[in-house]
Amino acid sequence: MDISLVIPLLNEEESLDELNDWIHRVMTDHALSYELIMIDDGSGDNSWEKITELKKRNPSVRGVKFRRNYGKSAALQVGFQMAKGDVVVTMDADLQDNPEEVPEMRRMVIEEGYDLVSGWKKKRYDPVLSKNLPSKLFNWAARRLSGIRLHDFNCGLKAYRRSVVKSIEVYGEMHRYIPVLAKSSGFRKIGEKVVQHQERKYGVTKFGMERFINGFLDLLSVTFVTRFGKKPMHLFGLIGTLMFFIGVVALVIIGVQKWYALRHKILGSLVADNVLFYIALTCMIIGAQLFIGGFLGELVSRSAMDRNNYQIEEEC
């Protein structure tokens, strides 16, 4: 099979007919075999009834209905597990992603050897203050922390080599950072394509401003997990040792000052009255706690079931 299209959705019954017809027309025009996997993430409208109706008209449609709303990451993970196509494409169900982009993104994966091709909505039809500006700031931070030069991490339109989606686990709110997860699994050829962004035709957006706050917290989480997930002592031990060293230096300074005052019979203040004493004490306590945290993290990491789960590309 050429393409698996994975589409998570929540309360999008108005757009599903048009989306199915649009995708089918594009795939037919380019002579591409495909499957259309729709994941109903606990919709409260008639989205699931619409999916079952589409299944009767289009045998390429496959549907999954969650009992409740689990989030986009969960829907994508289930879709990735089901996908059988050589190239797996994700897109949103609100008609803001253009299926006409899919054949070219597939070509970039198959012919140019990309592991992942991410869409870039260079021209957006979203409110500037509530979406565009926060999105630019978010993407800047993601580029700086991940080292992946993508303009639009949030774009739902992405194409993957099948081995990529079978090698990663998407959970929580990590759907924004699939390129980071892919890179940490050894898939480093990540490309980008400018895609056409459509104005929303039906319904309202399911994401508010909180997604940028949660997104930044998730960025810190995925950065830590991918860099230090199996070696937490390298982070906590380093910071803890540095903090403890600063505390020791401050303590030595206090000791020298006190010795000098006693040596020359200078009436000075008590050690406990010196602000440097409390800085030294705080740094040493925090440093010790961080070091112990890193040590405990190492014990947990070494006891994990997947501690020796390495991605092997091929054998001979």
What domain range includes position 255? 233-303
Kindly state whether residues 153 and 215 are assigned to the same domain.
yes
Whether residue 166 sits in one domain with residue 49: yes
Q: How far apart are CA 7 and CA 158, in angstroms?
A: 11
**How far is residue 191's CA from residue 184's CA, in Å, rounded to a whole number?**
16
Instruction: List the chain pLDDT tens, one digit each, 316 residues.
Output: 899 999 999 999 999 999 999 999 999 999 999 999 999 999 999 999 999 999 999 999 999 999 999 999 999 999 999 999 999 999 999 898 999 999 999 999 999 999 999 999 887 765 555 566 777 888 888 888 888 989 988 889 999 999 999 999 888 778 888 999 999 888 999 999 999 877 776 666 655 556 667 777 777 777 777 777 778 888 888 899 999 999 999 999 988 888 888 887 777 677 778 888 899 999 999 999 999 998 888 888 777 666 566 566 566 6
Residue 129 to residues 126, 136, 197, Cα–Cα distance (Å): 9, 11, 18
Quick one: tokens of 197?
A: 């962004």
pLDDT of residue 307: 59
Residues 161 and 14 reside in one and the same domain = yes
Check whether residue 150 and residue 220 sit in a common domain: yes
243 shares a domain with 185: no
Cβ contact 223:122 at 8 Å: no
Write b or e for each residue in 148-169: b if 16 or more Cβ atoms lie within 10 A of its Cβ, otherwise e.
Answer: bebbbbbbbbbbbbbbbbebbe
What integer pLDDT is reported at residue 257 of this predicted model?
Answer: 86
Same domain, 211 and 166: yes
Residue 315: inside a domain: no
Tokens encoding 5: 């299209």
Residue 5's DSSP bridge partners are 36, 89
Structural domain total, the chain? 2
Give this prediction's pTM: 0.76
Give domain status of residue 313, yes or no: no
Answer with the one of 228, 255, 271 that is the final residue of a domain: 228
What is the pLDDT at residue 295? 85
For residue 136, the model assigns a pLDDT of 81
Looking at the fold, whether 215 and 238 belong to one and the same domain comes out as no
Contact 79, 170 (CB under 8 A): no
End-to-end CA, the chain: 26
Q: Which of 228, 253, 272 is where one domain is finished?
A: 228
Q: What pLDDT is recorded for position 59?
A: 94
- The encoded tokens of residue 282 equal 């705080």
Q: Are residues 15 and 122 in the same domain?
A: yes
Alpha-carbon gap, residue 225 to 300, rounded angstroms: 13
Q: Which of the listed residues 177, 203, 228 is the one where a domain comes to its end?
A: 228
Residues 268, 213: one domain?
A: no
Would you state the pLDDT for residue 289?
93
pLDDT single digits (tens) 93-134: 989 899 999 999 999 999 999 999 999 988 776 555 556 677
Q: Are residues 221 and 238 in the same domain?
A: no
Q: Are residues 191 and 257 in the same domain?
A: no
DSSP assignments along the chain, one per residue: --EEEEEEESS-HHHHHHHHHHHHHHHHHTT--EEEEEEE-S-SSSHHHHHHHHHHH-TTEEEEE-SS---HHHHHHHHHHH--SSEEEE--SSS-B-GGGHHHHHHHHHTS--SEEEEE-SS--S-IIIIIHHHHHHHHHHHHHH----S-TT-S-EEEEHHHHTT----TTGGGGHHHHHHHTT---EEEEE-PBPPP-SS--S--THHHHHHHHHHHHHHHHHHHTT-THHHHHHHHHHHHHHHHHHHHHHHHHHHHHHHTT-----GGG-HHHHHHHHHHHHHHHHHHHHHHHHHHHHH-TTTT--------
Question: What local confidence, expressed as pLDDT, does residue 208 receive?
Answer: 56
Position 311 in a domain: no
* 3-state helix/strand/coil string of 39-88: EECCCCCCHHHHHHHHHHHCCCEEEEECCCCCCHHHHHHHHHHHCCCCEE
In angstroms, the Cα distances linking 256 to 156, 260, 263, 284 are 61, 6, 10, 18
Q: Is residue 50 part of a domain?
A: yes
